[in-house]
Structure 1
Amino acid sequence: MTTTSNVAAPPATPVPQHRSAARRRTPASMAGAAVKYTLVLLFLIIVLMPAYVLVVTSFKSGSEIGVSGQWDLPERWTTESWAKAWSALRPSFLRTIELAVPVALISSLLGAANGFVLSRWRFPGADVVFTLILFGMFIPYQAVMIPLRDIVTTIGLPPGIPTLIFVHSVYGIPICTLIFRNYYATTVPEDIVEASRVDGAGLLRTFRSVILPVSIPGFVVTIIWQFTSAWNDFLFAIFLSNTRNGPITIALNALAGAQSPDYAAAMAGALITSLPTLVVYILLGRWFIGGLMAGSVKS
C-alpha cells in the first residue's frame, strides 16, 4: 500500500515593513534642491527687476520720476501716462494688428505648402531647392535694406503696412518651411498620404483635406514666431514706413525719443506695445514647445 504524505508549502517571505512609497530624502539631495531653487529665484528676480521699474514708473507722476527714486512705489498712483501713451499709440497699434495677423497667416500657409511638397514629393533637385530656401534665413537684414527698398519701389507697393506685409511674409517663408518640412517628414505618417492617393486625391486635395487638419502644432509654432517677429520689427519699419503709416515700434520710438521725453508715458507705451505678444504666448504658449518638439524626433 502506498502512503501519500502532505508536504507543507514553505511560508511566503514577508514584505519588509520599513519600505515606504516615497523615498526618504537625504541631506545631500535636500541641499542640492535648496541650491537649485535659490538660483532659480535669483534669476527670476534679475529678470523681473526691469519689469518692476517699468510698471512702477508708468504709474508715477512727472515730479516723482528720477534716478534716486526709481525703485520706490508711487506716492500717488495715476493712469495719466497710460492715457497719454494710448492716445499716441492707438492708430499705430491698430495698423500693427493689420500687419502682424496677415503676416502670420500668409507665411505659415506658404511654409506649410512648401514643407509638404519638399517632404513628400521627391522631385529632382528637391534638396537644392530646400537649401536655397533656407539660405534666406542667414542673410542679414541690414545687407538687403537698400536693394529691398529699390525692389519695393519698382513693384509699386505703397509705403507702410502693405509693403511690410509683403516683406515679412517673404522673409518668413524660410523658417516656416523648415518647421513644416521637419514636422511632415517626422510626425505625419506616410500611410495617410498613401491612403488619400488610393482614394484618388491629388496633391492639392491631399494637402487641403488631409494634411492641414493635422498641422495644428506646426501652425501654432509658426504663428507665434511670425506674429512676434512682425509685431516687434523696427528695422524694416524704419526703412519702409514712417510715423504716419508705420507700425507701433515707430510710434513708440517717437514717443520715447523726443527732446524732452515723458518717461512715465514711454514706460506705459512699452507695456502697451508688449501686451499683444504676451497675450499670444499666454493663449498658445502651452502648445509652442510641443509643436517645436513634434518635428524634432522621428517617431
Structure 2
Amino acid sequence: MTDLTRSGLFTTLRPSRIAIYGLLILACLVYLVPLFIMLVTSFKTPMDIRTGNLVALPTEWTTIGWTKAWSEACTGVQCDGISGYFWNSFKMTVPAVMISTLLGAFNGYVLAKWKFRGSDLLFGLLLFGCFVPFQVVLLPMAATLGQLGLANTTPGLVLVHVIYGVAFTTLFFRNYYVAIPDALIKAARLDGAGFFTIFFRILLPMSTPIFMVSLIWQFTQIWNDFLFGVVFASGDSQPITVALNNLVNTSTGVKEYNVDMAAAMIAALPTLVVYIVAGKYFIRGLTAGSVKG
C-alpha cells in the first residue's frame, strides 16, 4: 500500500481528479459537436442531408461540396466559388500581420527600455486604442482611405488592420520587454551597442514567444474580420468572410448545406493551422511579461 501511495497511483485516481477530467472531457465534446456537424455535413450529398440525421455519418462520402464551394458556388451575381476571396484574405492578412507585429515590437522596445518625457502618457493613449469599438472608426477611416485613394482596395484593408492592431501588439511587446532586466541593456550600451543594435541583435532573438503571440492574435483577428471587409472593400477585393456571408445568403434553388459547410471549413482552416503550428508559444508568451509591467 505504501509503495502504491508513493508511486502516485491513488493520487491520480482521486474522485476530485476524476471529476475534473470528466468535466473537461465533457466540455471538449460539447465544444467539438458543431465542428463535427460542419465536417460531416460538408461530405454529405444534398439528398443525404435532407433525409438523414444531423449528426449521422454520411451514407455516401463525397467531396462535391468542397469542390463546388471552392470554384463554382455563387457569392452574389458571380458563381466562381470562394477561391479568389480566399487568396484575397491572404494578400490582406500576411502583410497586415507582419507590419503591425514589427511596429508593435519597435514601439514596445522604445516604451519599455528608452523612457522619455511623456512615454507613460503615450503608452496610455495606445492602450486606450485597444478598447475603441470597430464601429467608432468606420466613418473617419473611410474618409481617410478616400483621401489616400485606397478606398475599396486590398492595401486599404491592410492599412486599416495595421492601424487598429498596433495598439494590441505594442501592449504585448511592451509588457514582454519590461520583464527583461535593464542591466542587460545597460551592459550592451557600455559595450558600445546603439539603439538599433540592441533591438536587432539582443532583444529580437529573445522575442520568439511574444512574436508567436502577436502573430496568432493578429492573424486570427484579421482573417476572421467581417466588419472592415464589408465596409472598406468591394467586388474582387473582398476577403473570405464577406464571400462566405454572400454565399450563405445567396440561393438559386435548393439550399446546399454541404457547400455552405465546406466553405465555412475552408475559411477556418488557415487559423486552425496557425494554432496547431504555433499554439504552444501562445500561453508561454502571454505569461512571460506577467510578473512585471
| 2:262 aligned partner | 268
Gaps of 5+ in 1: 1-16
Structure 2 counterparts to residues 43-122 of structure 1, below 5 A:
43-66=27-50, 69-87=53-71, 88-122=81-115
Among candidates 273, 282, 287, match of residue 276 of structure 2 = 282
| 1:201 aligned partner | 193
Runs of 4+ in 1 over 6 A off after TM superposition: none
Among candidates 143, 157, 176, match of residue 136 of structure 2 = 143
Rounded to whole Å, the distance in 1 between the matches of 2:91 and 2:8 is 56
| 2:148 aligned partner | 155
Give the letter for the 1:180 counterpart. Answer: F
State which drifts further: 89-98 or 177-186: 89-98
- Given that 1:256 and 1:262 are in contact with CA atoms closer than 8 Å, whether structure 2 keeps it comes out as no
| 1:11 aligned partner | none
- Deviation of residue 23 (structure 1)? 4.5
Aligned length: 281
Structure 2 counterparts to residues 233-248 of structure 1, below 5 A:
233-248=225-240
Give the letter for the 1:202 counterpart. Answer: G
Gaps of 5+ in 2: 72-80
Tell which structure's C-alpha radius of gyration is larger: 1
Normalised to the residue count of structure 1, the TM-score between the two structures is 0.88
| 2:211 aligned partner | 219
Calculate percent identity across the aligned residue pairs. 42
- Deviation of residue 121 (structure 1)? 1.5
State which drifts further: 151-160 or 106-115: 151-160
Secondary structure at the residue paired with 1:99?
helix
| 1:173 aligned partner | 166
Residue-by-residue CA offset, 1:107-161 (whole Å, 9 max, x unaligned): 1110011111111112111111001111111111012212211111112214231
Secondary structure at the residue paired with 2:36?
helix
- Deviation of residue 30 (structure 1)? 2.7
- Deviation of residue 38 (structure 1)? 2.1
- Given that 1:115 and 1:178 are in contact with CA atoms closer than 8 Å, whether structure 2 keeps it comes out as yes
Give the letter for the 1:288 counterpart. Answer: F
Give the letter for the 2:185 counterpart. Answer: V
Rounded to whole Å, the distance in 2 between the matches of 1:23 and 1:96 is 50
Normalised to the residue count of structure 2, the TM-score between the two structures is 0.90
Greater percentage in helix: 2
Secondary structure at the residue paired with 2:82?
helix
- Deviation of residue 197 (structure 1)? 1.1
Among candidates 247, 250, 269, match of residue 255 of structure 1 = 247
- Given that 1:161 and 1:245 are in contact with CA atoms closer than 8 Å, whether structure 2 keeps it comes out as yes
- Given that 2:216 and 2:275 are in contact with CA atoms closer than 8 Å, whether structure 1 keeps it comes out as yes
Give the letter for the 1:25 counterpart. Answer: F
| 1:191 aligned partner | 183
Tell me: CA distance 1:50–1:196, structure 2 relative to 1, closer, same or farther (3 Å): same
- Deviation of residue 24 (structure 1)? 5.9
Secondary structure at the residue paired with 2:176?
helix
- Given that 2:175 and 2:292 are in contact with CA atoms closer than 8 Å, whether structure 1 keeps it comes out as no
- Deviation of residue 225 (structure 1)? 0.5
Secondary structure at the residue paired with 2:145?
helix
Across the aligned residues of Structure 1 and Structure 2, the Cα RMSD in angstroms comes to: 2.0
Secondary structure at the residue paired with 1:296?
coil
Give the letter for the 1:275 counterpart. Answer: L
